[in-house]
Structure 1
Amino acid sequence: YHKAQNLYPLFLAQESIRKQEEAVIVEGYFDAIMAYQKGFKNTIASLGTALTEGQLRLLKRYASKIFFAFDADLAGISATKRSTEIAQKLDFEIRLIQISEGKDPDECLRKGTKKWEEALQKAENLMDYYFRITFAEHDKEEAFGKKKILEELLPVIQRFPNAVEREHFLQKLAQELKTTLKSIYEENRKLDGHKHRPIRSSGPAPKKTTKFSRPQHLLALLFNFPQRQKLVEEGLKLEWFPENEEKRLYKSFLKHHNKKEEVDLEKLISEATPKEDLELFLLLGEERYSRFALPDLKKEVEKLIQEINHDHKKKLLASLYLQIREKEQEKNKEAYISLLKKYNHLLKEDSS
């Protein structure tokens, strides 16, 4: 998978985003999951990185307006700035959410939905945000302060594709700095005359695609489509899972899967250690299976179960073979014959 090409869980959120024509973008998986479970179904996650142009072009199919709700730490502020640069280029209407309760959306929503609803309603438009933070940092009464304000705000204003918007904010900037519009235009022309590097995707360089095991694929499918659990439970024995994190996560999934064919992700998340494993399967499921029709999902589950069973039997056969050789060397005829029968029986099962 490639984080820089995905938004989680777009396959669940896209209908709500399309209806509202707006999306709320948070940083992490668990922020998005919590928002979705609390009823804010147009919420998606940037997966811990500043958004890339590819992600935003994908989102542009569904929404014209986006709300950013990144963490308020330095990394979050930096990611907000980089992401809004690209969003401006693609002509999104941009709003920025300030979280007053909790350090991130997940924590805020755990305390109830009221504060989050208020934060959405009070979200600042992009230029109000930039004017506020820039004028707070520099003294607009001093010549040097005015210079720094211009250096920071003019590039932001220039990124608006719409000339009327650019004109509006240039006029506002002149008013705030108590200077002539002519001076602002002059500085803007200077900036416009320079060659700027194109906005680059802020995601990491492409990496070789990770290979996932069959149990990992099955977990990825289940975490995103818990209604397939009955089919899995009918065909898969728990002992077929290797003794590792996948088996533990599958047990946890069974524990929190209810009769309505839903899974309590909040409880599942609270038990996940490390949480990165669960994040991995959520993302893998989003990328690999989000476009599958239900009949295709059924076929995929059956195929994965069959392959997991086959892998399990191969391991058993290998183990039995070593035991047979051992008993042969020990000249333990009774144990040798018993193990050989088991081996042949399993071999027939696997080939049938």
Structure 2
Amino acid sequence: TALTVEQIRILKRLTNDFIFAFDADQAGIRAAERSIGLAWSEEAKVKVIAINQSLGKDPDEIIRRDVALWKKLIAAALPAMDYFFEMKFRGYQPEEIESKKQVARDLLNLIIQLASPLEYDYYLKKLAEKLEVREEALREAVKKARQQKKPGVASQVSAQTQQTDKNVKSIDRKAAVAERLLAGMMARMDYMEYVGENLVIEYLPMACQEFYKILAVYYTKEYKQGGKVENYIKENQPELTNQLNCLIILKEELKQLSDHEFLAEIKRLIFELKKDFIKNKLLGVAKEISDNEDKFKKSAAAGQEELKNKIDKLMQEFSELSGQLKEN
């Protein structure tokens, strides 16, 4: 499945340091250009592991064979642009002008995506030295490329960002609300029962549901014993540590609220999540109604009664959900 801007933005809430793993072939390089371009567009720091086929076909196979080897590969991961230099200069023929032009085109299209002026200058100078050409000539090539506005990875990134930005904002808002609620639960575990009575786990984004579950388990097993929630999570589900670290800052902020302010905030957060959940269900039901109405129009008389009953049930569900939305 292709990496998306939405996924990168979700991951960036946990870390800004990305390590990608790609096959060391042309298909792997193409995948790297696209994925790393997206990560750069979100100002992520990127390193790359190039997987040699002799080691295994993918990370899963390498890890199954030799965990220690995989750890070494992670430690040896290259900064993304160094990886591209290594890949693009494979097969480079310095005496061939077309070879120089091809490498220059490929790497300049990547270098211009770098957000840091220091990195931009560093890699432009490095490219000039390796190609044995004047740096000014490369800068002129960059200038012409920008004037012509040729579609490259950067423009593809921009187009995808524009297309998905609305959905991403919605995802980010919902996740932010859910994370604030989880942080609130960590700050005041004595409100856990209230949250449990008023929150359905499906209100939370999938990325937050596992964290909610571990908080509920902690409350049941450890809270009254006085154990720290942070330690419990790290010991029992260490894979949630990054998420935990992100929530600790919010937790400290929410601890400053008075009892009245805290309860009001918890109610608001649950309300926001419930409202979003109902709206999404309404959209799904509305689509089902539309699809079945289309089928009804095209169906033979014998099948229309069943479709009509289904549409009636969906309309009833839609009405009930709309009522819940108004109540809230």
Q: Which has the larger radius of gyration?
A: 1
TM-score (normalizing by structure 1): 0.44
TM-score (normalizing by structure 2): 0.47
